[in-house]
Structure 1
Amino acid sequence: MTSEHAETALSVVIPMYNEEEALPALIARLRPVLDGIGVPYEVVAVDDGSKDKTAELLGDFRHAWPELRVVRLRRNSGHQAALTAGLHRAVGRYVASIDADLQDPPEKIPEMLDLALERQLDIVYGVRNDRSTDSGFKRRSAGAYYWLMRRLAGKQMPAQAGDFRLLSREAVEAIKALPDQQQVYRLLVPWLGFPSGEVHYQRDERVAGETKYPLSKMIRLAVDSVTGFSAAPLRLATWLGVTSFFACLGLLVFTVVAYVSGKTVPGWTSLFVGVLFIGAVQLICVGLLGEYIGRIYTAVQRRPTYFIGYDSADEPALRLSPARFEGRV
């Protein structure tokens, strides 16, 4: 552990995109909680290329809150990429991650830290045991997502655990060592298999602004989760092919029997249904293969998922470093 890591006991990573309406409430609730823990901490606010005044407000808040560290990405890279940037830049002995919408209560962070220290845990999950504030569709879709993920990724994935969690420095370093291009931390963190615990809470309504996870992004998250952590869809394609093969054999037997018994009549319905069925199965299989090939293509390209445009922690180094002025004198 470096001296820098030893000085900071806790880092809190907050990915945010267009959160100018929620920021004042977030700061007002988060700062008293962290000040009350009584350990050195930092807050790593990752601005994911916001189009509103999020970056400007973060700069204003930082003047009054020295522990607030502002990291800005050069473009909007997505929630998981912004979370990755924060985890890679955080220096704390423990690193908590939380969203800016206050649906996950920051008051649970001290409880997470106490549990990790008491039981020597590397991971503490924030588990939602009450989602009554969510819409019926949101609850059902989330329930279906976790049901599917637990069957594909294993029972080690806690049900109803999002991106509100606490990680030890060892867990963070293990994540940083992984070569994954498209991280889905809800599955990646449980996959590590490190000692873990849970803290339960009631999920609140978004404090302000609009959700950053509409239906399209939820579907994308589900696709990334399935294709990134399981080969089950490929096996599904195989079984679809086997099923269609036996279905075709059955149709063939039926056709021969009908021909021998003289009950055949000119028609196109059976032919049309057969072709449609086989074509649908083939398209599903090709689509599943395409998802996996696309992930392989992305991994081979090794393009960064994000670019850091600014980190307030680098400001002293930039002012003092002679390299900044090379070629200008």
Structure 2
Amino acid sequence: MSVVIPVYGGEFTLGSVVEEIARFAEPSVTPDGHRYQVIETLLVYDNGRDRSDETIRELADKYPFVRPVWLSRNFGQHPATLAGMASSSGDWIVTLDEDGQHDPADMAAFLDTALRENVQLVYAEATNPPPHSAFRNLTSKGAKWLFATVLAGGATASFQSYRLVLGEVGRSVAAYAGSGVYLDVAMQWVSGEPAVCPVELREEGDRRSGYSLRRLLSHFWRLVLSSGTRGLRLVSVLGVVFALAGLGYAAYLVVASTTGDVPQGWTSTMVVVLFSTGAVLFSLGIIAEYIGVAVNMAMGKPPYLIVGDPADGPLGSRRPRPRP
């Protein structure tokens, strides 16, 4: 197994997570009797807000199975996960968070589920409420329901950041995924129907969540744009609905004019104009977002860029600079 952990704010939590993983760096056996071993843990530094980079270097010096992966700038959780998957070498890839809410001991159950059900992708299915606010949990469920029933047409909504994927599938997705793609959508394009494994989520470590409301909305919008062209089809449906509504309103005015009961004033007209104009502009915005994604991919914008340790390069301070 290769374990991939995107790191943004893990200065105080990452050490305990890696310490737990260290137990499985030796050959272990799953409850179903399958032998497995964590051969590497890739800590992908996403240029966060704290001293996580120093924590990564200390862990790499302490544990031989820890491999740092350095990104050129902050790209986000999904691109950082893709970078770690692209750098992995295990038969299976496990992705988990840096905050300690995912128990590494559940990796064995993930593997049993994958082999028992003959699937390439397994997601954690929480048996307890996630350790977030009630509002965030509710909106998360709503977004996943919208994706599964409206946008993706039957795709599974049981996805989260704790997952197990077949190594060659994960590396292929990391190699071919375009800029702005939602990771779980991309994996379901190629892996077939995933399975779920029940786990109990733990409390997050003593740190503030890295997801503000703006980041969460951006996350959801990436999910919408990555789910295919159904968003554009919904725009077409919206146009048909407003056209029919316009015909209905016109028929009403014709009938009203024959009876002499023609509406007076501009109130109803202005309401229709403003509402329809808003719908048109909203539709154009959706189309523009799709065009933007296509333009970024056509121009070759990378979803991530792996570099060397900044502390060992020209921008760092570890290597002494030659005197002029």
TM-score range, shorter chain: 0.7 to 0.9
Cross-structure match for 2:273: 275
Deviation, structure 1 residue 43 = 0.5
- With over 3 angstroms needed to count, the CA separation of the structure-2 counterparts of 1:254 and 1:153, relative to structure 1, is closer
1:262 aligns with 2:260: yes
Alignment of 1:123-138 (within 5 A): 123-131=121-129, 133-138=131-136
Look up the equivalent residue of 2:161 and give its one-letter code: D
Look up the equivalent residue of 1:27 and give its one-letter code: V
Q: Paired residue for 1:30, among 16, 21, 31? A: 21
Q: Paired residue for 2:170, among 169, 172, 176? A: 172
Q: 1:110-148: CA deviations, max 9, x gaps? A: 222344455554222222232153321122111112211
Deviation, structure 1 residue 238 = 1.4
For 2:191 and 2:263, the matched residues in 1 are separated by 63
Q: 1:276-298: CA deviations, max 9, x gaps? A: 12211211211111111111111
What SS does structure 1 have at the residue aligned with 2:303?
coil
Alignment of 1:1-329 (within 5 A): 10-35=1-26, 37=28, 39=37, 41-117=39-115, 120-131=118-129, 133-151=131-149, 152-159=151-158, 161-194=159-192, 196-264=194-262, 266-310=264-308
CA contact (8 A) 2:46 2:76 kept: yes
Count residues in correspondence: 304
Look up the equivalent residue of 1:310 and give its one-letter code: G
Q: 1:73-101: CA deviations, max 9, x gaps? A: 12111111111110111111211111101
Deviation, structure 1 residue 154 = 4.1
Look up the equivalent residue of 1:13 and give its one-letter code: V
- With over 3 angstroms needed to count, the CA separation of the structure-2 counterparts of 1:257 and 1:74, relative to structure 1, is same
Aligned Cα root-mean-square deviation (Å): 2.4
TM-score after normalising by structure 2: 0.85
Cross-structure match for 1:5: none
CA contact (8 A) 2:110 2:197 kept: yes
Q: Which moved more, 1:99-108 or 1:250-259?
A: 250-259
CA contact (8 A) 1:127 1:158 kept: no
- With over 3 angstroms needed to count, the CA separation of the structure-2 counterparts of 1:199 and 1:61, relative to structure 1, is same
For 2:305 and 2:73, the matched residues in 1 are separated by 7
For 2:182 and 2:196, the matched residues in 1 are separated by 19
CA contact (8 A) 2:88 2:171 kept: no
Look up the equivalent residue of 1:234 and give its one-letter code: L
- With over 3 angstroms needed to count, the CA separation of the structure-2 counterparts of 1:36 and 1:53, relative to structure 1, is farther
What is the percentage of aligned positions where both structures have the same residue?
27
What SS does structure 2 have at the residue aligned with 1:213?
coil
* Structure 2: stretches of 5+ with no match in the other structure: 29-35, 314-324
For 2:177 and 2:199, the matched residues in 1 are separated by 33
CA contact (8 A) 1:103 1:207 kept: yes
Look up the equivalent residue of 2:9 and give its one-letter code: N
Q: Which moved more, 1:209-218 or 1:27-36?
A: 27-36
Give the number of the structure whose residues are more often helix, by fraction. 1
- With over 3 angstroms needed to count, the CA separation of the structure-2 counterparts of 1:49 and 1:257, relative to structure 1, is same
CA contact (8 A) 2:60 2:67 kept: yes
For 2:300 and 2:280, the matched residues in 1 are separated by 30
- With over 3 angstroms needed to count, the CA separation of the structure-2 counterparts of 1:283 and 1:102, relative to structure 1, is same
For 2:92 and 2:39, the matched residues in 1 are separated by 9
For 1:265 and 1:76, the matched residues in 2 are separated by 57
For 1:179 and 1:30, the matched residues in 2 are separated by 28
Cross-structure match for 2:32: none
- With over 3 angstroms needed to count, the CA separation of the structure-2 counterparts of 1:272 and 1:154, relative to structure 1, is closer
CA contact (8 A) 2:145 2:157 kept: no
* Structure 1: stretches of 5+ with no match in the other structure: 1-9, 316-329
For 1:224 and 1:41, the matched residues in 2 are separated by 32
- With over 3 angstroms needed to count, the CA separation of the structure-2 counterparts of 1:275 and 1:299, relative to structure 1, is same
Deviation, structure 1 residue 227 = 1.6
Q: 1:252-279: CA deviations, max 9, x gaps? A: 2222333333333641112211211221
